[in-house]
Structure 1
């Protein structure tokens, strides 16, 4: 959880472990624009404004709440299917990002996020689920939003948290001395297993 206030930067940079909300810090209202309940209205407004493309993302945790479940959450699939069908109704093409700074928290706390080789398999299953479930509705996919954000904001961008005394550059720099970075960037020379 990334708070507002004095500790915000330390959490974003992965220097302070923050896996739950604190009462003494300000958090957003958690309501925002309420797209989940208003997507039909929002998409109709986009069409009225002449939009032909809608860039959005799928929340990994809406399809796999913990990230490591063997089967996806069918309610999550139904929600996104309804969103994409609504887009098609108005001739709006969905442009969908698979991972937009939203690694399921369970994968961070239990597996260490992208430090762990198993994340590649979890992500591949999630991506395959999306491609199969939304085949014919989504033509254009983006894998990771701003993949370089893991260098600048490791926790919010990739769920990376650093231990005291750890060499952060070895964890963050893709394709170099880092298993985490190499696997996230698709380094073909990465160690296996």
Structure 2
């Protein structure tokens, strides 16, 4: 049975579950006609003009975030909780000194997985605007984590619509053995 999160943004749904038919389930939920989604050379989806979204997968679980319209770009990610060794690798790869300083004010379980996933969601939403790969250091926590979202600040100019100092909010939910993150950026 899929997990649905309907209150992300207006005209947007997120579905998480086993299998590959989640796009069709999300299209039906939003009353959108079924469409196949091609992939760019980068591997990211090429969305039709009437919809945008994001995909992710982890250990047999797939995630589809789908939104009606083209006013925003979306990013979503699902990541399993990391063991101690993997958490150390994620900390070294995805977290800078600014992130670590903000985390001292509010410790969270599985914070390395959460930060990594949140930055992955941002990358997926930002890539259509940026058009190139950029590092995890492009985002830094702007404040200690909240119970349902993370607030980041851009540390560099990535695109005309993504400037240094701009704040970005990434929402999240914790599942029994994973975290799910999502965000949207104006197109």
Q: TM-score range by the shorter chain?
A: under 0.3
What TM-score comes out, normalization by structure 1 length? 0.27
Select the structure with the greater relative contact order (CA < 8 A; seq sep ≥ 6): 1
Bigger radius of gyration, 1 or 2? 1
Which structure has the highest strand share of the two? 2
